[in-house]
């Protein structure tokens, strides 16, 4: 089986389950599914942070989930703000590395902390959307997935100028522009799903979500570059690991969720 065919089949099966399951399966089933995704991503993040034993990776993943569960119960809004603040810091980190090529931090405790900041707010955001309205969670997925599709198509067809050559050489400005136009069109087309008043507010939310998704993708590429690996894992045929599939979502989820809360309160 070719890598492209494996990628398409995996994406179709996983995407179909996510959409149908979020809409029709009991809440507890989908909560368990997203928890398993979080555990898988946390296990892979632990390995990206440095050489770890299976026990250490497992304890780290359980710690991530425990913090996410507690955070969702005790301080969800604070964690969403923390997540947005972290991704602003991550943006500066990626831009600095791209501009200067300076060595990025390799301290394992520091990178474990980075994993917490990436994973916990995202899991809280997914939980919040699922509880509020499953269609809002699917709207987030639609924005992130469409950005990936448009970036891939635009980059393959028109890509010439590198977006971040030191971080992820395969990404181009043409792919970035294609994804930006595509995600804005998707947002407008799905405006009936989002309880956001005003076209400009809706486009601003879509734009912020898109920019965050790009940073999430680039940060994972930077971490893989530090470890000298192509993929974060091998669980998903054609895609690599769980983290390879959800890197954009980790950044987009808290930004989208917080933006939605602020927009609907105004």
Residue 91: predicted pLDDT: 95
Q: Is the dihedral of CA 85, 210, 173, 239 positive or negative?
A: positive
Is the pTM above the cut of 0.75? Answer: yes
Give which of 126, 95, 66 is closest to 255, Cα–Cα: 126
For the chain, 266 residues long, give each residue's pLDDT as a single digit of tens.
445 455 566 667 777 888 888 889 999 999 999 999 999 999 999 888 877 888 999 999 999 999 999 999 999 999 999 999 999 999 999 998 888 876 666 678 888 999 999 999 999 999 999 999 999 999 999 999 999 889 989 988 888 899 988 888 889 999 999 999 999 999 888 887 788 877 888 999 999 999 999 999 999 888 888 777 776 666 555 456 788 888 999 999 999 999 999 988 75
Residue 237: predicted pLDDT: 54
Q: ∠ CA 221-123-129 to the nearest 5 degrees?
A: 120
Please state the domain extents for the chain. Answer: 3-265
Neighbour-count burial for 226-258, b at 16+ CB within 10 Å, e otherwise: beeeeebbebbeebbbbbbbbbbbbbbbbbbbb
Q: Residue 43 CA to chain centroid, in angstroms?
A: 16
Cα Rg for the chain, rounded, in angstroms?
18
Pull the structure tokens for residue 116.
């917490």
Residue 250: predicted pLDDT: 96
């Amino acid at each position: 089986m070719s890598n492209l065919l494996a990628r398409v089949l995996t994406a179709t099966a996983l995407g179909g389950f996510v959409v149908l399951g979020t809409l029709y399966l009991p809440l507890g089933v989908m909560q368990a599914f997203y928890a398993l995704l979080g555990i898988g991503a946390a296990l892979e993040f632990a390995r990206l942070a440095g050489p770890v034993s299976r026990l250490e990776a497992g304890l780290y993943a359980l710690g991530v989930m425990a913090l996410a569960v507690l955070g969702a119960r005790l301080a969800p809004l604070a964690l969403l703000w923390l997540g947005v603040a972290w991704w602003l810091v991550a943006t500066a980190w990626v831009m600095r590395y791209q501009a200067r090529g300076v060595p990025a931090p390799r301290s394992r405790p520091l990178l474990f902390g980075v994993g917490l900041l990436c994973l916990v707010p995202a899991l809280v955001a997914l939980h919040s959307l699922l509880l509020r309205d499953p269609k809002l969670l699917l709207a987030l997925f639609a924005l992130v997935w469409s950005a990936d599709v448009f970036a891939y198509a635009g980059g393959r067809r028109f890509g010439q100028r590198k977006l971040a050559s030191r971080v992820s050489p395969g990404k181009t400005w043409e792919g970035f522009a294609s994804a930006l136009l595509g995600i804005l069109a998707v947002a407008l087309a799905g405006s009936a799903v989002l309880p956001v008043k005003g076209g400009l507010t809706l486009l601003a939310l879509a734009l912020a979500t898109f920019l965050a998704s790009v940073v999430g993708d680039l940060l994972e590429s930077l971490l893989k570059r530090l470890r000298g690996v192509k993929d974060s894992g091998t669980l998903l045929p054609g895609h690599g690991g769980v983290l390879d599939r959800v890197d954009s979502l980790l950044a987009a989820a808290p930004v989208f969720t917080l933006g939605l809360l602020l927009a609907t309160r105004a």
